[in-house]
Amino acid sequence: MSRWACAIEGCDDTFDAVEDAIVHQTAEHERHECKVCGTVVPDGYFAIRHAFDEHTRAEFVRAYDADSDAVRQREQVKDEIESVVDLQSVVERIDGAV
């Protein structure tokens, strides 16, 4: 069974289910302020999703001073998560927790 790392800076928690990892990122970590538009989103997966669903890669690179490797890495994480995640159950658990 694959283990999912939180992967937020300074945190090395790992989880058996990706849903657990995302709930952890949302509940346990400070929120992230998007450097492109200033929207505050949960850090981790939701921050990546926001950046790439709402903005172009060029905007992301400019705002975060990122290179193409950083973009590819995040897109890969996003694809990996989205191929397995039950986002509805994540949202329900987050709603229940706050």
8 and 25 in contact (C-beta within 8 Å)? Answer: yes
Interface with Zn ion includes 11 (CB under 5 A)? yes
Cβ neighbours of 47 (radius 10 Å): 21
Distance of closest approach, residue 82 Cβ to Zn ion, in angstroms: 18
Considering only 12-20, 63-71, 73-81, 82-90, which stretch makes contact with Zn ion by CB under 5 A? 12-20
Distance of closest approach, residue 81 Cβ to Zn ion, in angstroms: 15
**What phi-psi label fits residue 27: left (phi over 0), alpha (psi between -120 and 50 degrees) or beta?**
alpha
The contact set with Zn ion (CB under 5 A) reads: 6, 8, 11, 13, 34, 36-37, 39, 54
